[in-house]
């Protein structure tokens, strides 16, 4: 297999073991130069927090950057979000109403201003009460006719997004934009906001060995031969999965 589309989450997936990441980066960059493989980061981070991370860690420059849990797509280093994607998400999205309803849930603590985006309203929520609060919040928002989804991940992060925005839908958009076949696409992740990369997907999926319980529980309940659970952690787990699927 020559060219492929490589999509990965950053925190606790690609990032977590600097030596393993350096080794994987070397292999990916070589593959990109030889075969035109495309590298895409799909992160829950805003562009602000992504840039902060890129200063701390030695990351390859991605061909496409997907930020803020699939709600923003930046192509070929552009500073502006892809307008086609933004136009798609703006339909039936009422950010002010989402904030007004969410404000009635006192358990939710707003995330920093940098993480509040045009198509993402984000809070912190304690894990021990998430099982009760998330369904109630989702119900309250849907009762108002809002076309939304609520995603809880990492044991603390709660994101409210338009129904058509998540990492999985962003992956489909990117794959079609790049015109790369579904069988030559692989996505990697570790937490709840990565489930959309793996749910009912023909693309290959790699779950790293250090994945969080919410993703592992979902994986066990929803088996799929296109998905591989690595034994190794972080970038070593990605490499293990890429070898398993024959991309390396």
Encode pLDDT of 15-74 as tens digits.
999 999 999 999 999 999 999 999 999 999 999 999 999 999 999 999 999 999 999 999
pLDDT of residue 211: 97
Dihedral over Cα of 163, 166, 172, 173: its sign: positive
pLDDT of residue 1: 64
Backbone angles phi, psi at 130, to 5 degrees: -60, -40
Q: How far is CA 119 from the centre of its chain?
A: 15
What pTM, to 2 d.p., does this model score?
0.93
Low-confidence ranges of the chain (pLDDT < 50): none
Return the number of other C-beta atoms located less than 10 Å from residue 17's C-beta. 17
Longest dimension (CA), the chain: 54
In the three-class reduction of DSSP (H, G, I as helix; E, B as strand; rest coil), residue 7 is classed as strand
Backbone angles phi, psi at 75, to 5 degrees: -105, 130
Backbone angles phi, psi at 14, to 5 degrees: -70, -35
As beta bridge partners, residue 137 has none
Residue 14 to residue 114: CA distance in whole angstroms:
23
Residue 144 to residue 95: CA distance in whole angstroms:
13
Looking at the chain, list the stretches that DSSP marks H as alpha helix, in order from N- to C-terminal side. 18-35, 47-56, 83-90, 95-102, 127-143, 167-178, 195-198, 213-221, 234-244
pLDDT of residue 4: 98
**Contact of 215 with 195, CB cutoff 8 Å:** yes
Return the number of other C-beta atoms located less than 10 Å from residue 18's C-beta. 12
Q: Are strands 185-189 and 148-153 parallel, antiparallel or unpaired?
A: unpaired
- CA torsion 231-236-237-243 (nearest 10°) is -100
Return the number of other C-beta atoms located less than 10 Å from residue 80's C-beta. 9
């Amino acid at each position: 297999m020559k060219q492929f589309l490589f999509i990965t989450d950053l925190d606790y997936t690609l990032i977590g073991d600097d030596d393993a990441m350096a080794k994987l980066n070397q292999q990916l960059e070589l593959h990109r130069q030889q075969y035109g493989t495309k590298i895409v980061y799909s992160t829950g981070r805003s562009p602000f927090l992504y840039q902060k991370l890129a200063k701390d860690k030695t990351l390859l420059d991605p061909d496409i950057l997907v930020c803020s849990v699939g709600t923003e797509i930046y192509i070929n280093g552009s500073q502006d979000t892809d307008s086609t994607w933004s136009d798609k998400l703006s339909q039936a999205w009422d950010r002010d109403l989402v904030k007004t309803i969410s404000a009635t849930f006192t358990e939710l603590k707003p995330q920093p201003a940098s993480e509040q985006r045009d198509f993402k309203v984000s809070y912190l929520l304690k894990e021990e009460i998430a099982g009760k609060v998330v369904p109630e919040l989702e119900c309250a928002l849907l009762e108002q006719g809002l076309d939304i989804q609520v995603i809880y991940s990492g044991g603390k992060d709660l994101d409210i997004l338009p129904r058509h925005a998540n990492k999985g839908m962003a992956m489909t958009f990117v794959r079609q934009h790049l015109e790369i076949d579904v069988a030559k696409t692989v996505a990697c992740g570790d937490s709840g906001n990565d489930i959309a990369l793996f749910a009912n997907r023909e693309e290959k999926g790699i779950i790293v060995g250090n994945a969080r319980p919410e993703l592992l529980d979902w994986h066990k309940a929803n088996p799929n031969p296109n998905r591989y659970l690595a034994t190794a952690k972080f970038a070593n787990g990605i490499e293990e999965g890429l070898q398993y699927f024959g991309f390396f």
